[in-house]
Amino acid sequence: MAEDNNKGRVPTVIADDVHIVYRVNTGGGGKGGATAALNRILRGKKVDEVRGVRKVHAVRGVSFTAYRGEAIGLIGSNGSGKSTLLRAIAGLLPAESGKVYTDGQPSLLGVNAALMNDLTGERNVILGGLAMGMSREQIRERYQGIVDFSGINEKGDFITLPMRTYSSGMAARLRFSIAAAKDHDVLMIDEALATGDRKFQIRSEERIRELRKEAGTVFLVSHSNKSIRDTCDRVLWLEKGELLMDGPTEEVVKAYEKETGK
Amino acid sequence: MSVPPSPDEGLTPAQLAAKYHLSVSGARPGLREYVQQLWGRRHFIMAFSSAKLAAQYSQAKLGQLWQVATPLLNALVYFLIFGLILDAGRGMDKKVYIPFLVTGIFVFTFTQSSVMAGVRAISGNLGLVRALHFPRASLPISFSLQQLQQLLYSMGVLLLIVMAFGNFPTWSWLLVIPALVLQFMFNTGLAMIMARMGSKTPDLAQLMPFIMRTWMYASGVMFSIPVMLKDKPAWIADILQWNPAAVYMDLMRFALIDGYGSENLPPHVWAAAAAWAVLFGVLGFVYFWKSEERYGRG
């Protein structure tokens, strides 16, 4: 990877001092029932608190430039803003201030939200594909591939049953298979490698490597330092929403491991 | 990271982005482009609405039979209370009143449920909005389509009831189609307005049932407005009759019921129906689009 980095480095994603603030409706804010909420309104505190809205500053001033052909890992403890940052890059969460520039449309590997547990696996494959922006023909072409990859039908004809009848592992496998069926320019993967049994994990890591080859740039969020080492050549370390370190995988992961005491 | 000196050194992020033709992520597309994107997602919109519809009763033993049973039971309850106990027909012939009542209920329910689904279209699907790219208007449109499909089941029931009370198919029944198209347009526009408001203020979902019920009683679902208000100043009845819900109900009744002739309709009723549809359809769409890039924030 380093050779083609030296000349003609083409940026694909530029984050310029990105801040992201979540607004959380806390339903009246704080403790207590209806009377307490009413009390707070009557006493007239700060406007935001009265409305029961709390702000969570999830990402604080992150800047970096990603180049074509890079695979970038994001590490950091739970709640450090990794997934939020990915969503901002994908343009799914508007930044409070700062800007994200991208080449084409980055996509997040994840269709979970579009799938419906009450529908059969079959219909979910179609629905998930359409939700990701595939055409009906593309889905028809890849349908068998998706089902085979998920291995859902290995234990009988499960694809024609509603998804709520699946075990959690089976559902996760189907979700990953649907999500991974599409080609992407800038691909972002949020802890998708940990799903399914050992056999499926190996298969999905293979698929991710394939996707990496097709995609311009890949972002990977993971808590497994092993899969970060296996797939990424650059790592961003986020802590409390701030970019703590940005550099080659080995350097950053070592520092991270030292910090977390592993 | 040891970066070798490159010609890009010293450029600000914005300049660098401009140099390599990068675009701002998550920016709102122009109105024309937005319509094109939406058209490109038409299959998703259709699939999403019918999936929602199918998922609705999938846990019930009777399954999709409830699509028909629910409106039927609804009509029965209203008939018991308003037809038999309160006698809200005020001298209207039962042969006219019962189809009148049932038509009103089904048509109003169409608007009502589109509005209720619209309020939650964004706020209830934040997970989806934060995970995938698609023009967000797909959601309120999808939910309105789901209500339309639901209404088509109800229409089947309605036609049976109407025929049971001695109204047989005539050419005027064809008027049902333009009336439904216009009402669908109106509903979708309204749903988009509600979706944007509901994404900012989810509390609307709690408030809307009361507003909708007020609207229902004011639109003459279970009584004829001119008959009920004949002692009051005429302008009250006029306003109520011109409101979109009343207009669409009256059109449907006029189309289906023999004993409900044009003398019961306000003048220029088709023009009013079209005007409401275009006004809300266009206004709602533009209003929704204006906030497109902000829906993920919740």
Burial of B246 (0-12, 13-18, 19+ CB in 10 A): buried
Q: How far apart are the first and last CA of chain B?
A: 37
Cβ of A94 within 8 Å of Cβ of B134? The answer is no
Residues of B in contact with A91 (CB under 8 A): 25-27, 133, 293
Decide if B148 is inside a domain: yes
The residue in chain B having the minimum alpha-carbon distance to the alpha carbon of residue A12 is B22
Which CATH number fits the domain that encloses residue A103?
A: 3.40.50.300
* Number of folded domains that form chain A: 1
Mind spelling out the 3-state secondary structure of A158-201?
CCCCEHHHCCHHHHHHHHHHHHCCCCCCEEEEECCCCCCCHHHH
Question: How many structural domains does chain B have?
Answer: 1
Domain that holds residue A74: 69-260
| pLDDT recorded at residue A108 | 80
pLDDT higher than threshold 80 for residue A60: yes
Does the beta-carbon distance from A108 to B293 stay under 8 Å?
no
Which tokens go with A67? 């180049």
Percentage with pLDDT > 70 across chain B: 97
Instruction: Decide if A110 is inside a domain.
Output: yes
For A69-110, what is each residue's pLDDT tens digit?
888 999 988 888 888 898 888 888 888 888 888 887 787 876
Strand partners, A248: A234
Is residue A180 a part of any domain in this protein? yes
Please state the ipTM of this predicted complex. 0.79
Indicate the pLDDT class of residue A192, thresholds 50, 70 and 90. low
Q: Which residues of B touch A110 (CB under 8 A)?
A: 131-132
Measured between beta carbons, the chain A residues lying within 8 angstroms of B21 are 103
Q: Give the pLDDT score at B1.
A: 45
Contact call for A127 and B48, based on CB within 8 A = yes
Residue B149 in any domain: the answer is yes
**Residue A25 CA to chain centroid, in angstroms?**
23
Q: In the predicted model, is pLDDT for residue B178 greater than 50?
A: yes
Could you count the other beta carbons within 10 Å of the beta carbon of residue A158? 22
Give residue-wise pLDDT tens across range A123-154.
999 999 998 888 999 999 999 999 998 888 88
Please state the rounded mean pLDDT for residues B86-100.
80
Residues in B touching A181 (Cβ below 8 Å): none
- The pLDDT value recorded for residue B251 is 94
In a domain, A51, yes or no: no
Residue A45 has pLDDT above 90, yes or no: no
Asked if residue A47 is part of any domain, the answer here is: no
Torsion of CA A116, A118, A123, A127, to 10 degrees: -20
> Per the CB < 8 Å rule, is A112 touching B131?
yes
Q: What is the mean pLDDT of chain B?
A: 88
Q: Select the residue from A53, A101, A138 to test the B interface by mutation, using most B Cβ atoms within 10 A.
A: A101
| Interchain CB distance below 8 Å, B294 and A90 | no
> Which band of pLDDT confidence, cut at 50, 70 and 90, is reported for residue A1?
very low
Q: Which of B187, B66, B215 is nearest to B121 (CA)?
A: B187
Q: pLDDT-based confidence at A40, cuts 50/70/90?
A: low
Residue A18 lies in a domain: no
Q: Which of A61-75, A211-225, B248-262 has the lowest mean pLDDT?
A: A211-225
Quote the pTM value: 0.84
Q: Is residue A44 part of a domain?
A: no
Can you give the residue range of the structural domain that contains B99? 64-297
- Domain presence at residue A206: yes
Across the interface, whether the CB atoms of A130 and B54 are under 8 A apart is answered no
CB contact under 8 A, A87 and B43: no
Provide CB contacts within 8 A for B284, sequence distance 6+.
B188, B189, B190, B191, B192, B193
